């Protein structure tokens, strides 16, 4: 039996062909298998499904409360020169007025 193709977003093995694309039955992510280069490559997507890379600039799409800070990070805040990390909070960055912090990619869009 052949090795199942894992979903690049959620790593589920329950994927299927959908025309020229593959689709995941768990998270409903669709991708072109020709664009996936390396199994070990970290793939991080923003809220709109665009792939993020180290050094990108992103924009926060909703107010994000910061523990211990008197005010939240406002929607529309531009964050420059991000670094991608593995884990739940997969963007490491520095935000003016807040310092170094980690963000979830689902709360940003590529800017």
**pLDDT tens-digit readout, 18-34:** 888 899 999 988 888 77
Query: What pLDDT score does 82 carry?
Result: 94
**Is this prediction's pTM over 0.75?**
no
Of all residues in the chain, the percent with pLDDT exceeding 90 is 46
> Could you give the 3-state DSSP secondary structure of residue 85?
coil
**pLDDT tens-digit readout, 37-72:** 555 667 888 999 899 999 999 999 999 998 888 899
Task: Give whole-number Cα distances, 46 to 25, 28, 43, 82, in Å.
Answer: 20, 15, 10, 12
**76 neighbors 64 (Cβ within 8 angstroms):** no
Task: Give whole-number Cα distances, 110 to 33, 52, 76, 86, in Å.
Answer: 22, 7, 11, 18
**27 neighbors 7 (Cβ within 8 angstroms):** yes
Domains of the chain: 1-37 (2.20.25.10), 44-110 (2.30.30.40)
């Amino acid at each position: 039996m052949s090795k199942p193709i894992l979903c690049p977003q959620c790593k589920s093995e329950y994927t299927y062909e959908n025309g020229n694309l593959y689709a995941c039955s768990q998270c409903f992510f669709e991708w072109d298998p020709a664009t996936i280069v390396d199994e070990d490559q970290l793939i991080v997507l923003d809220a709109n499904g665009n792939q993020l890379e180290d050094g990108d600039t992103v924009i926060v799409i909703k107010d994000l409360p910061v523990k211990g800070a008197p005010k939240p990070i406002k929607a529309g805040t531009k964050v420059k020169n991000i670094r991608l990390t593995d884990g739940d909070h997969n963007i490491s960055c520095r935000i003016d007025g807040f310092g170094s912090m980690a963000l979830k990619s689902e709360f940003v869009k590529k800017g």
